[in-house]
A and B are shown apart, each in its own frame.
Chain A
Amino acid sequence: MTLLAAASTPLGSSLALSTAFTGASTGAGSAADTADARCYSRLVNEWFCWDYVRDYRPEIVDATLQHVAITVASVAFGLLIAFPLALLARRVPRLEGTILGVSTGLYTVPSIALFPLLVPFTGLSATTVVIGLGLYALTILVRALLEGLRAVPEEAREAARGLGYGEGRLLLKVELPLAVPVLVAGLRVATVSTVALTTVGSLVSYGGLGNLIRDGVQGNFRAELFTAAVLCVVLAVLLDALLVLARRLLTPWQRGVAA
C-alpha cells in the first residue's frame, strides 16, 4: 500500500498498476481489492480521505505533537528574550529605537533563509527551528510587552508606590497583570504565525506537519498534503482560543467589559 502511494514516477505507477492487475487475475485479489478501495491509493488520490487519517494515525499524531512542541518552545523562547529586551528598552529610552529596529529587521530575513543560516551553528536539529522561529516571535512580543507596560495607568503605579511597592514588586504584582490584555494580543499574533511558520522547518526535517506537507508535494500524495494543511489551521485556531481563555482567567476584572 505504501508502495502504491509512494510511487511517484510514471514508471512506478504503471508498475504498481500491473502488479494490481496480475494480483487480481491470479485470484489472490484481496490485496488488490483493498488497494482499489483505499481513497488514498495512487490511482484514486483523493484530497480528503478518512482511510488515510486512520491508517497513518501514528505518523500524523507524531507530526502534530512535534508541531505543537516546536511552536510552544519557539514562542516561549521568544518571550524569554523579549522580556529583558522590553525592560531594557523601557529603562533606557534611547535604546528603544535600536531594539525595535533590529527585531523588525529580522523579519526581512525570509524564514527559508534563516534556517540554513543557523544550520552551520546548530545543525539539523529542532533547536535550529526553535531559535529561528523564536527570533520571529521576538519582534511581535517586544512590541506587545512595551505597549502593554505603557498602557498601565500612571495612577495604578502611583498607588502601588504609595503603598510601599519596590520596583520588582511593582512590575510583578501591578504592571505585568495590567499588561496582560495587550501582551496576550501580541502572544496570539505570535503564536498563530509561528504555527504557520513551523511548516517551513521541514527544510531541516523538523517542521512538524510541514514534513507531511513536503512529503505530500514531493510524492503527489494529496490526502497527506491536505490533511496536514487543515491540521495546521485547526492547530492555530485551537492555540488562539486557548490564549483567549488564558486571558479571561488572568484578567478577572475585565469580564463583562471586553469580549
Chain B
Amino acid sequence: MRVLQDAWRYLTDAGSWTGDGGMLELLAQQLLLTAGALALALALGLPLALWLGHLGRGGFLAVNVSNIGRAIPTFALLALLVTADPWGWTGGYFPGTATLGPFGRGGAATLVALALFALPPIITNAYTAVREVPEDVRAAARGMGMSGAQVFRRAEWPLALPLVASGVRLALVQVWATATIAALVAGPGLGRVITDGFFRTQYGKGIAGAIVVAAVALVLELTAAWVQRAVTPPGAPGSRAPGARTGESEPSAQAPTVDS
C-alpha cells in the first residue's frame, strides 16, 4: 500500500498543484478541452439529430452512429489526426500548426477527436428523444394550426429536452474521462500526470492523477444531473426518473462507452 501513501503525499503537496505544469494548470486545460469538444459536438450534432427526429427520417443513421463510434478507437483517431496534421494543408497560413489553439497540435487533434467521440451519444439520444414524443401530441399540435417549426419549438422540444439533456450529460462525463488520453500524443490535460508518474515509475503520482480525474468526473456528473433536473419541466415525462426513460431497459442504448 506504499503507492497509496505516495499518492496521498502527492495530492497533499501544494507544489504538485501550483506552478508551471502543476495539476491546477492541467486541470484547467482539460476542462477547457472538454467544454470545447462538447460545444463543437453540440453545434454539429444537435441540430442535425433534432431535425432528423422532427422529420422522422434517417433513423438508421442516427441509431447506428453509436455503434460505428464505438468501433473506432479514440486512440487511433487521435493518432491519425496528430500524424496527418490536417491543419498543415493550409500551408501554415490558417492558424498555423504549432500555435493552433492554446495547446498546439496535440491539443487541436484532441479537440477534434473528442468532439467526434461525443457525437454518437448526443445524436442518438436527441434523435430518440424527438421520435419518442407521442404521435397524438404531434397531431394535436398540428390540429391547432401550428407550422412544422412551431410543432417542434412548442411541442417536441420541451418534451424531448430531458432525454436530450441525458445524452449531453453522458457525453460530458465520457469526454472528460477520455480527454486524458491526449497525454499519449503529448497533448494537454491531466493525463500527463498519469503517464508521467507511470513512465517514471512514480506510481503514486499516477494514481493521484487518476484520483483527481475520477473526482472531477463525479463532480461533473452530479452537476449535470442537477442541471438536467432543473431543465425538466414538472410533470413532463421523465421529470421523476429520467434514467427510466433513457433506455435502461435496453443496455446497448444506455451503456456508456469509455475512451479507447
Contact = CB atoms under 8 A, between A and B. Distances in A.
B70 A116 contact: no
B191 A220 contact: no
A240 B221 CA distance: 30
B125 interface: no
Given A109-B213, A116-B206, A139-B255, 16 more contacts: A109-B177, A110-B178, A110-B191, A112-B184, A112-B191, A117-B210, A136-B258, A140-B255, A143-B255, A196-B70, A200-B184, A202-B184, A210-B75, A217-B79, A229-B76, A232-B72
B55 interface: no
B25 interface: no
Contacts, number: 162
A188 B83 contact: no
B162 interface: no
Given A192-B70, A217-B83, A232-B76, A111 B251 contact: no
- Chain B CB within 10 A, most for which of A114, A189, A226, A233: A189
B258 A116 contact: no
22 contacts: A108-B177, A110-B181, A110-B191, A110-B194, A111-B258, A112-B195, A113-B194, A113-B206, A116-B207, A116-B210, A119-B203, A139-B255, A144-B251, A185-B251, A188-B252, A196-B72, A199-B260, A203-B198, A217-B79, A225-B79, A229-B80, A236-B70
A127 interface: no
A212 B175 CA distance: 24
A148 B174 CA distance: 26
Interface of A: 47, 104, 107-117, 119-120, 136, 139-140, 143-144, 147, 182, 185-186, 188-189, 192-193, 195-197, 199-200, 202-203, 210, 213-214, 216-217, 220, 222, 225-226, 228-229, 232-233, 236-237, 240
